[in-house]
């Protein structure tokens, strides 16, 4: 009887131990899935991107390996499917056991129809090493110094001439990727030079205003150049926002 009781206790311990191990692995897998979810958050948005751009952005998330890209661009067909490999870990809550670490693969869909914080799909890991992506070309430099030197100075009581401002911009021979906005409001002319951002980091831009007795060229503060803040528009040149506190 004593031997049978001991056997039952040992069997119970093994069963409980296996159950705990399984639960720890499940929690570790959930942690890996959460890491893949950060990829979806990073890639979420309506901005058109090629599969190469999507893969490069995903690979920039810490702890993420991009294993496969399906599709050509976010706005073609079903969009771009990204298979990523992430890791997760968990500890046994009942025993001082070794940390459980897992590596899992998930698919993230990137298209205009993707939902915010959409749960990544569990998939088998493809064979082969992670994909590598070349660094994107650096954005063209915005000629703030040359702009400041060439913009006209209007005397007090005068009026800025939009045509003259546009001639100055044409003489700068700007890179094709630099977007130019010019707008007249009363006696003043506002100018915005900007480079398309990635929808995540601050946008590169230079603002300027030409008016009676004052010509200014400046770069808005970082927080005003974040996506959605609108600090790079020509309206920000004509109505300069106060610096953040």
Question: Residue-wise pLDDT tens for the chain (245 aa)?
Answer: 444 443 433 444 444 444 444 588 889 999 999 999 999 999 998 888 999 999 999 999 999 999 999 999 999 999 999 999 999 998 876 655 678 889 999 999 999 999 998 999 999 999 999 999 988 888 899 999 999 999 999 999 999 999 999 999 999 999 999 999 999 999 999 999 999 887 778 999 999 999 999 999 999 999 999 988 888 999 999 999 887 75
Phi then psi for 89, rounded to 5 degrees?
-140, 160
Query: Which domain, by its residues, includes 102?
Result: 22-123
Q: What are the residues whose beta carbons fall under 8 Å from the beta carbon of 148, sequence distance 6 or more? A: 208, 215, 217
115 located within any domain? yes
Q: What's the sign of the alpha-carbon dihedral 122, 93, 95, 35?
A: positive
Predicted TM-score (pTM) above 0.95: no
Maximum C-alpha span of the chain: 109
Q: Same domain, yes or no, for 148 and 228?
A: yes
131 located within any domain? no
Q: Same domain, yes or no, for 30 and 119?
A: yes
For Cα atoms 181, 187, 192, give the angle at the middle one, nearest 5 degrees: 15
Q: DSSP label at 227? A: T
Total tally of structural domains belonging to the chain: 2
Q: Same domain, yes or no, for 112 and 69?
A: yes
């Amino acid at each position: 009887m004593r031997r049978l009781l001991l056997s039952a206790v040992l069997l119970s311990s093994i069963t409980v131990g296996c159950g705990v191990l399984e639960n720890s692995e499940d929690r570790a897998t959930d942690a890996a899935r959460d890491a893949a979810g950060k990829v979806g958050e990073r890639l979420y948005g309506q901005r058109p991107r090629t599969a190469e751009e999507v893969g490069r952005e995903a690979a920039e998330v810490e702890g993420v390996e991009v294993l496969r890209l399906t599709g050509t661009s976010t706005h073609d067909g079903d969009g771009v499917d990204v298979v990523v490999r992430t890791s997760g870990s968990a500890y046994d809550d009942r025993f001082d056991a070794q940390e459980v670490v897992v590596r899992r693969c998930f698919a993230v869909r990137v298209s205009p129809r993707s939902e915010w914080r959409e749960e990544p799909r569990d998939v088998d890991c493809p064979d082969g090493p992670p994909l590598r992506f070349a660094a994107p070309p650096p954005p063209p430099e915005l000629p703030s110094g040359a702009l400041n030197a060439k913009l006209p100075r209007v005397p007090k009581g005068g009026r800025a001439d939009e045509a003259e401002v546009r001639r100055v911009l044409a003489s700068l021979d700007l890179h094709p990727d630099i977007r130019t906005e010019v707008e007249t409001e009363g006696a003043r002319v506002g100018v915005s030079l900007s480079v398309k951002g990635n929808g995540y980091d601050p946008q590169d831009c230079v603002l300027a205003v030409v008016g009676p007795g004052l010509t200014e060229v400046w770069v808005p503060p970082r927080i005003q150049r974040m996506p959605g803040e609108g600090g790079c528009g020509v309206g920000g040149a004509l109505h300069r926002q106060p610096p953040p506190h």
